[in-house]
Amino acid sequence: MAPPLPGPGAKRAFNGQASAAVRGGAFVFVSGLTAVDPATGEAIRDTTARETQRVLENLKLILEAAGSSLARVVKVNVLVHSMLEAPNMNEIYARFFPEPPPARTVCGARLPHGAKVMIECTALAPDDQP
């Protein structure tokens, strides 16, 4: 098992149930994130667009703490509480992943604790680390 990587508010956000991210070979694997305040770990429940914004901002922070970045993301899995809300998620998503975007899967799902969006990803790890 790879050691967990640092992430702002990660311990509170995951309540010790999962690492925010782990390094595995040439990749950084980020756990599914819902919208939380990175300073407090408190859940944020808002519109799909606003939750997507917060999730992607937190994803960016976690990747940067791991030495990677959004530009190095190769695969994204998005769960949205209703596929009718996918266009609202996509509008925000496109701001974080300009052309060409990473490979992606989007599915409708019932999410925990009333979350509207959950996003996980795989990114290339930093080149200078084993």
Residue ranges covered by each domain of the chain: 10-124
pTM of the model: 0.88
Architecture label for domain 10-124: 2-Layer Sandwich (3.30)
What does the pLDDT look like over 31-71, one tens digit per residue?
A: 999 999 988 888 999 999 999 999 999 999 999 989 999 99
Q: How far is the C-alpha of 82 from the C-alpha of 23, rounded, in Å?
A: 31
